Amino acid sequence: MKTKIATVLALTLLVMINFSIWSFVNNPLQLQPWTKTTMGLTYDPTRKTDDPRDNIFVSEEDMDKDLTLLENKVHAIRTYSMLRGQNKIPDIAAKHNLNVTMGAWIDGNLEKNRQELEALINVSRQDNPKIIRVMVGNEVLLRNEIPEDALIEYIREVKKRNWRPVSTSETWAEWLKHPKVAAEVDFIAVHILPYWEGIAAEDAVDYIFDRYHQVQQAYPDKPVIITELGWPSDGQPAKHATASVSNQAKILREFLNRADQEKITYYIVEAFDQPWKQSIEGSAGAYWGIFNADRQAKYPMDGDVLTLPSWSHWATGAAVLSVVLMALFLFTRRSLKLPGMVFFGLITNLAVSTIFWSLSIGAQQYQTPLTIIFWVVLILMQVLAAIILLIESLEIAEVIWHRKTARTFQPLTPSPDFKYPKVSLHLPIHNEPPLMVRKTLEALAKVDYPNMEVLVMDNNTKDAGIWEPVRDDCERLGPMFRFFHLENWPGFKAGAINHALEQTAADAEIIAVIDSDYILSPDWLNCMVPYFDNENVGFVQSPQDYRDRHQSTFKDICYWEYAGFFNIGMVQRNEYNAIIQHGTMTMVRKSALLEVGKWSEWCICEDSELGLRLYEAGYDSVYVKDSFGRGLMPDTFSGYMTQRFRWVYGAMQIIKAHWRSFLPTQKSPLTSAQRYYFVAGWLPWFSDALALVFTITSLLLTAIIVYDPIHSELPINAFLLPTIGLFTFKVLRGLWLYQARVPCSFWQSLGAALSGLSLTHTVARGTIQGMFTSGKPFMRTPKYEKQGPLFAGLMIIRQEVILMLLLAAAMIAMASLEHFDNLSGRLWISILAVQAVPYIATVATLLISIAPHYGKNAKLAEELDEV
């Protein structure tokens, strides 16, 4: 009861924290109000889903609705074209008492230019007092679409055939470069758009007035009118300029009040968002309107401004989903203490809120079919990253704040009346050094257990000089040892130990398996076999351990990387009867093994697959974390990678073969905890595969950005959680759990983190290949392998090196782009840098592995003898 009350209190507290964070981020901005009528807006009647380049006519009814909306809000509008029905705008504007600065669009299409000019002249000669100016072209010189002299001829023609003031619109810089054009016009129509020049929002208004006065000084005899100024409310940043609702509101309000004081004539660009401009100007091009494309005001001009007005709806959605997830996890974790609940809840809230924040950003933007697909993929990746984050958070909570349960097993001491069941110990070997196997056999001969046999299965070793000494050692050690040499034997290791099963003594009740390099403690069987007195125990497991970690720095960091799994993951899984069976230091009830169908020869991780089948058959497991045997670690980084690839690839084979058992249905033969821990245990490997997908995606996006920075946008928000967020959390999680559960120093835990990171790409390859291929052969981890030169090592990790160099080149390229000299650009470089860390770790670990050993081989041999 107390646990349920604590859980409810934790959920309530976390919901309050969730809303507090959303409220703080969306704190209303108190800006200088604008309460007067705005002087002018630029106006394009194109609707939300239309594109003027398709020559779609806008109906008079739609234009009338637009100008009805603008009536009494502005004094005047400015248009850009006389075609597609826009020649009707001046008459409609007159009905709403709006002045019009009327424009003709000029570009390289001379025939269309003629149509624009004739329509402009014809309408301007009508008796409409609301037409106050006419414009010949818009940024024609900036786009360099016709020569200066041709533009001057157009201006002269319009002036000759029209009595209203005539000009052309250009940026302030173009006016300063073209005094000949300035001499021909009746007024200077200048565009001052600090956003496109990368000016920071806080400096934008001062910049507008500085440039305005600069043009005034250049042409003191001409009236200067600002025919375009503004700021986008969304889209990619441009240098130091950040597009946002708050920045747009702040700049416009400040400018409007200052322009009113200085009596400046101006037109804000623009009345309504134009989504079609994204293909021309990039994503920011769609968001310059003070109304969105649905004709809704983005914010009031005289009240507080909210960046996300509907934030409470998104916060509610995030809170509801967070509560569901927390309840799903926490109400099934009765052994979790309150601090663990709060910790897990905080991470859940942050992860879910991040996803909802991304959704809110996408919902506010104008989407195309292509961008919708892009957003769906990115959100799905965020969801997968969030699931991984939650699972790893729950692991922290359970390890740090877990109440001790009855499933904590210790080594046993047989009672005086204990009946020792016969143990058949199987030792598969393949091409192993005879001296190494001899040490293993001699340790087995010293095992203190009265009823056992040892079956040594040599599997397909071609060189008689390697397997015959092992046969001779077995004969020397006595009848307890039996040796079998198998020629052309199928099934790899599983095939060999299946054959051993057929040769096992009929009265044997327990099958024990160790690797050929393991030196057993004499008391292993005595301490572990008594657990089989419980008839429901199917297998008993002791951890893998190693005796050669002092041989080199490389082996030391590998040792502690292995130790994390056996001291953290296996201990926690044991609490829920969901450990991973591994093929050394394991014991299996023979009758259970025969019942579920022996070792699977189709799976290169036959040990883990058997453990899962035993669980499916209803058997329990026992894990004692005490070490009873020590083997040898891979001697080279190549061997380390090969071993991990085999584990990952085999896990994917198991998932494909047993996926129905992991479904949350009543028909599943696994308990809910077993389903959870098997899926949770494999998800970090999918996380590495996801990281590889994100890395490749990042490189492709960077290439597109470098090729076309103006029209490209950085999907920062979608990448932060799956890259920087997940990476940072995983590193901190590892260090935290190591300090709590692994008997090592902080620096040793850092070494373990380095070696684990170095396998990221190997794990990603194993996951992807395992999911989409089948039939990979068993990959033996060689012992006493000679270390090759640096070049050979680099060739082994060539994929990692190539990706590292590509990421480095991408970072350099991004840093050289002036357009992205801003927070977004720096965040993107940070994302690329984080993605490069695992590849750097791979190179670093390789260099450590080939560095000279600080211990001599003689010393190593001495230590091995002592063990």
Q: What is the mean pLDDT of residues 533-542?
A: 96
- Same-domain pairing of 273 and 367: no
End of a domain among 632, 650, 670? 632
**pLDDT for 3-60, tens place per residue?**
667 667 777 777 788 788 888 888 888 888 999 999 999 999 999 989 988 888 889 9
CATH value at residue 246: 3.20.20.80
**pLDDT for 451-506, tens place per residue?**
999 999 999 999 999 999 999 999 999 999 999 999 999 988 999 999 999 999 99
- Same-domain pairing of 331 and 275: no
With respect to residue 385, please indicate whether it lies within any of the assigned structural domains: yes
Helices (H), 26-137: 60-70, 89-95, 110-124
With respect to residue 771, please indicate whether it lies within any of the assigned structural domains: yes
Q: Which amino acid is at 776?
A: K
With respect to residue 292, please indicate whether it lies within any of the assigned structural domains: no
**N- to C-terminal Cα separation, the chain:** 51
- Same-domain pairing of 97 and 191: yes
- Same-domain pairing of 621 and 688: no
- Same-domain pairing of 369 and 458: no
Q: How far apart are CA 508 and CA 6, in angstroms?
A: 51
Helices (H), 401-433: none
- Same-domain pairing of 372 and 226: no
In degrees rounded to 5, what are phi and psi of residue 539?
-150, 155
- Same-domain pairing of 13 and 37: no
Q: What is the mean pLDDT of residues 321-333?
A: 77
Q: Which helix (H) or strand (E) holds 39?
A: strand 38-42
Q: Is the pLDDT reported for residue 321 higher than 60?
A: yes
What pLDDT is stored for residue 861 in this prediction? 41
- Say which residue, 435 or 341, is predicted with more confidence: 435
63 band by pLDDT with thresholds 50, 70 and 90: very high
In degrees rounded to 5, what are phi and psi of residue 192?
-130, 105
Q: Is the pLDDT reported for residue 738 higher than 80?
A: yes
With respect to residue 409, please indicate whether it lies within any of the assigned structural domains: no
330 band by pLDDT with thresholds 50, 70 and 90: low
With respect to residue 411, please indicate whether it lies within any of the assigned structural domains: no
- Same-domain pairing of 34 and 183: yes
Q: How far apart are CA 149 and CA 179, in angstroms?
A: 12
Q: What is the mean pLDDT of residues 116-145?
A: 96
What pLDDT is stored for residue 622 in this prediction? 97
Q: Is the pLDDT reported for residue 867 higher than 80?
A: no
Q: Is the pLDDT reported for residue 783 higher than 80?
A: no
Q: How far apart are CA 459 and CA 289, in angstroms?
A: 75
Total domains in the chain come to 4
Q: Is the pLDDT reported for residue 854 higher than 70?
A: no
Tokens for 535, please give them: 């008839």
What pLDDT is stored for residue 855 in this prediction? 44
Q: How far apart are CA 838 and CA 689, in angstroms?
A: 12
**pLDDT for 371-423, tens place per residue?**
888 888 888 888 888 888 888 888 898 888 887 666 889 999 999 999 999 99
Burial of 743 (0-12, 13-18, 19+ CB in 10 A): exposed
Tokens for 866, please give them: 């002592």
Percent of the chain whose pLDDT exceeds 90: 68
Domain carrying residue 345: 2-24+313-400
With respect to residue 835, please indicate whether it lies within any of the assigned structural domains: yes
CATH value at residue 623: 3.90.550.10
Helix, strand or coil for residue 807? Answer: helix
**pLDDT for 200-230, tens place per residue?**
999 999 999 999 999 999 999 999 999 999 9
Burial call 606-644: b when 16+ CB within 10 Å, e when fewer: bbbbbbbbbbeeebbbbbbbebbbbbbbbbbbbbbbbbb
CA distances from 164 to 83, 125, 131, 186 (A): 20, 8, 8, 9
Burial of 260 (0-12, 13-18, 19+ CB in 10 A): middle
- Say which residue, 860 or 826, is predicted with more confidence: 826
Of 566, 555, 560, residue with least CA distance to 633:
555
CB atoms inside a 10 Å sphere around CB 769: 16
With respect to residue 416, please indicate whether it lies within any of the assigned structural domains: no
What pLDDT is stored for residue 859 in this prediction? 45
Q: What is the mean pLDDT of residues 98-122?
A: 96
- Same-domain pairing of 11 and 40: no
**pLDDT for 351-373, tens place per residue?**
898 889 888 888 888 988 888 88
- Same-domain pairing of 429 and 371: no
What pLDDT is stored for residue 860 in this prediction? 44
- Same-domain pairing of 125 and 241: yes
With respect to residue 55, please indicate whether it lies within any of the assigned structural domains: yes
- Same-domain pairing of 256 and 358: no
Q: How far apart are CA 33 and CA 415, in angstroms?
A: 87
Q: What is the mean pLDDT of residues 712-738?
A: 84
